[in-house]
Amino acid sequence: MAKRLGEPTEHNTAQGAGAHTSDSFRVDKFTATAHRIGPSGRALLHELTVGVFWAHRARDLDVFIALGEGYLAIDEIGRALGSAMCFRAHEDFAMLGMMVTAPRLQTMGTGRWLLRRVMDDCPECDLRLSATRQGYRLYKDAGFVPLGTVWQHQGTTRRIYLPDAVPGIALREMEPGDAAAIRALDTQAYGAARDRTIDKMLQLSDGVVAEAGGEICGFALRRPFGRGRVIGPLVAETERIAMMLAAPLIQRSEGEIVRLDLPGESELFSAFLSAAGMGVHDTVTEMYLGRQRRPLTGPRMFGLAAHSLG
């Protein structure tokens, strides 16, 4: 099975003076070899996500493989031992994600080896990731700095009423001509231009935009993900505008499992989501290495595209 993924990668770039990550790694009783992730590796990647109880479906993994690059660690008999990917935005920023290690190997160094390998591919880049509790110490030891908590709101949605409108803000359905304004807003809130990612999200999503004086000042997208749907990215200037944007997408998903990953503290918005049946299911820690790129003022991210995409 490993053979169909191609030969082990040659790897000569490095992060830091004299650093080099080898193409193979001895783990337990096996030798793991790094293989570039491509479409043919989706089944192995899915095995890893199932092993750690992630809800990703094949369609979700196809999106990540199309937007990112990275590695699968595979042993001599074709078993996937771990994965790591990066999702580039512009030339000097990357989001690290799909960091998965088979549960039986999580204390044996496989995750550290894969992390270093994918970091080596992003020299001179500012980096960001979403750290699970299991991975937090690994990333902290690698130099990543905690920024804040990401609250995974998720649940079967129930009937809600639209929140009160914000004075001066009008809401409408997203149209194809809104793409440029949505990209620009996302760049502000994300901290880097990720046009390929946003264009992919637009292809997969329906959504709404908020306007002030005829200019788009916020947006929210909804797409199939996992066992139901995810709302994100969602960008707005205030919690009340975020509620306006999320409400119609929740309404049209009544009775479905809906997820929204909320970075940072937003007490009012969080209470609104919980009232809609989307209580806090889990948390991760947003961490960064290099320059902190997420703006803390102006339009902000109230819903991630995904943990791995930011």
Number of domains, the chain: 2
Do 100 and 219 lie in one domain? The reply is no
Do 113 and 158 lie in one domain? The reply is no
Q: Rounded to 5, what percent of the chain is helix, strand, coil?
A: 30, 35, 35
CA distances from 27 to 46, 111, 113 (A): 21, 11, 10
**Max CA distance (Å), the chain:** 65
135: in domain? no
Residues 6+ apart with CB under 8 A from 194: 87, 88, 89, 90, 186, 187
Do 105 and 168 lie in one domain? The reply is no
Q: Which CATH number does the domain housing residue 212 bear?
A: 3.40.630.90
Do 271 and 195 lie in one domain? The reply is yes
* Of 247 and 78, the one with more pLDDT: 247
Residue 71 CA neighbour count, 13 Å, CB half: 32
CA distance 301 to 285: 15
The range of the structural domain enclosing residue 24 comes to 2-124
Domain end point (choices 77, 109, 124):
124
CA distance 66 to 197: 9
- Banded pLDDT at 28 (limits 50, 70, 90): low
149-171 pLDDT per residue, tens: 999 999 999 999 889 999 999 99
106: in domain? yes
Do 186 and 252 lie in one domain? The reply is yes
Do 69 and 199 lie in one domain? The reply is no
200: in domain? yes
139: in domain? no
Do 169 and 290 lie in one domain? The reply is yes
pLDDT at 216: 98
187-196 pLDDT per residue, tens: 999 999 999 9
| Whether residue 224 has a cis bond before it, omega within 30° of 0 | no
CA distance 71 to 23: 11
Quote the percentage of the chain above a pLDDT of 70.
89
pTM, two decimals, is 0.89
Do 59 and 184 lie in one domain? The reply is no
Facing residues of 271 across strands? none
Do 90 and 194 lie in one domain? The reply is no
Q: Can you state the angle between helices 239-251 and 267-275, rounded to 10 degrees?
A: 20
Phi first, then psi, for residue 137 (nearest 5°) are -65, -40
Mean pLDDT of 103-111: 71
pLDDT at 31: 79
Domain end point (choices 124, 144, 169):
124
115-156 pLDDT per residue, tens: 999 999 999 999 999 999 989 999 999 999 999 999 999 999
129: in domain? no
**Do 66 and 42 meet the contact criterion of CB atoms below 8 Å apart?**
no
* CB burial of residue 52 (10 Å; 0-12, 13-18, 19+): middle
207-228 pLDDT per residue, tens: 999 999 999 999 999 999 999 9
**Do 231 and 242 meet the contact criterion of CB atoms below 8 Å apart?**
no
CA distances from 256 to 16, 117, 262 (A): 47, 39, 19
Q: How many CB atoms lie within 10 A of CB 165?
A: 12
Do 189 and 61 lie in one domain? The reply is no
Q: Which CATH number does the domain housing residue 116 bear?
A: 3.40.630.30
pLDDT at 244: 98
Do 160 and 225 lie in one domain? The reply is yes
Domain end point (choices 108, 124, 140):
124
Quote the percentage of the chain above a pLDDT of 90.
77
Q: What's the distance, Cα to Cα, between the start and end of the chain in Å?
A: 32
71: in domain? yes
Task: Scan for tokens 């803390």, then name that residue.
Answer: 296
- Banded pLDDT at 242 (limits 50, 70, 90): very high
